[in-house]
Structure 1
């Protein structure tokens, strides 16, 4: 199995598919690479895609005493690129993966080609959070009811009726408690507001207009902080816009990447 060894010696699992300019796909909080299963083929048909299981998820190590932060996860991506001998790659991050992608572009500008940020936020005082009612509903003791809340945040009822699952976006059930808490701290601790003007990568920001998990106004806030960023809304989409509006979302991303080839 392919693993990269990170600076603290943790092993991070990754997979590579396809051929072409490399593209790293970054999933949401507490999720494995299976987050991308429904749309992965769209990108692997054109690019050499790299997906991974974050520290604490899937087949990667799950140490209790490690640092869990989105900036650390960005460093883990660099370890994978080094393992593969890839000097530069495009990066597409969604939800918490979009936060990881922001730090890749800030901390490692020479390693990032085009940058795509989906359903994500600048975090901190300037990022918009889900309402307290949503947070309480997700934290309720009944796991099946909490799961249903999450499904409703991800997808419209109409799409769920036509696509009954299983869904790869609802979290990794194998995560130990310490890793799940670490991911929550990592995502909640993200704050890139003051450094996003350092992003030099061509950037596309995507967001569903009906996303209340990461409120849709986050997209304009984020795009406004990144020099010359483009902004694209997917009308009527919720948090998992990339699945529910796959045809439009994948086409927009692939067109953007084609317009900004690696140099």
Structure 2
């Protein structure tokens, strides 16, 4: 699997699939690129999809240094630089949506269109998950906590029909320090002040029954980002993009159509 050296020397793994306008896909907290396996083909027919394993996950290095959304943004830009992509559409879900927000705020020239899925602005304005959800996820029995997370990601009907393995439940190979680092990075995210400055056309997508990241955060984002569109997927929980793929993927593709980035991977240059 190809890697590139981040600015601090950490090796970051990246993956490229498909052909067309570049589309950067950003996964959720403590997950690697396999988060997108269930839906990536929906976009690779019309886009060159680019993913990376966040530092601490997958085939990337897991340094003992602090983790932050800012650092993830730098790594994402590094992946685009490695591929010679100046500008790409960006689709981030969950923590990946937090990274996508900061990327659009700090590097507006790198983002063509922006899709923010099941995510939050962070900070004091965000709507936090309920105490019952926190307690369930913090259960001392790992099996109990894992069961709680599954039910926050997917509906009972989908779980009954899909016994796993699940791609969105965290990277099992992550070292403990990296898992803690991802949690800290996500918890410290606060893009509120920068959201009104986002220039990219933006679509906000969220499940109506998402308790892991309450649906009210979608409205906050859509109201805060100029011209943003909001779509709430009825009946969906946190992993709306996978369980409700038949609705969500065409929705995102339609939004991206006609908003091609200025650059494409055609003739891109990779560093030797």
How high is the TM-score relative to the length of structure 1?
0.98
- Give the Cα separation in 1 of the matches to 2:258 and 2:184: 36
Kept after mapping to 1: 8 A contact 2:118/2:238: yes
Q: CA deviation at 1:98?
A: 0.1
- Give the Cα separation in 2 of the matches to 1:125 and 1:191: 8
- Give the Cα separation in 1 of the matches to 2:233 and 2:2: 35
Partner of 1:38: 38
Q: CA deviation at 1:259?
A: 3.1
Partner of 1:53: 53
- Give the Cα separation in 1 of the matches to 2:197 and 2:143: 43
Kept after mapping to 1: 8 A contact 2:22/2:49: yes
Mapped pair 1:131 → 2:147: no
Mapped pair 1:109 → 2:108: yes
Kept after mapping to 1: 8 A contact 2:138/2:145: yes
Q: How does 1:195-206 map to 2 (within 5 A)?
A: 195-206=194-205
Q: Secondary structure at the match of 1:213?
A: coil
Q: Which runs of 4+ in 1 moved over 4 A?
A: none
Partner of 2:270: none
Q: Secondary structure at the match of 1:51?
A: strand
Q: Secondary structure at the match of 2:192?
A: coil
Partner of 1:257: 256
Question: How many residues get paired?
Answer: 262
Q: CA deviation at 1:248?
A: 0.7
- Give the Cα separation in 2 of the matches to 1:250 and 1:170: 20
- Give the Cα separation in 2 of the matches to 1:228 and 1:71: 25
Partner of 1:163: 162
Q: CA deviation at 1:135?
A: 1.2
RMSD over aligned Cα atoms = 0.8
Partner of 2:151: 152
- Give the Cα separation in 1 of the matches to 2:198 and 2:164: 37
- Give the Cα separation in 2 of the matches to 1:121 and 1:226: 12
Which is worse superposed, 158-167 or 91-100?
Answer: 158-167
**How far does the alpha carbon of each residue in 1:143-178 deviate from its partner, in whole angstroms, 9 at most, with x for none?**
111111000000000011111111110001111111
Q: CA deviation at 1:197?
A: 0.9
Q: CA deviation at 1:137?
A: 1.3
Q: Which runs of 5+ in 1 are unaligned?
A: none
Q: Which runs of 5+ in 2 are unaligned?
A: 263-272
Q: CA deviation at 1:139?
A: 1.4
- Give the Cα separation in 1 of the matches to 2:129 and 2:211: 6
Partner of 1:95: 94
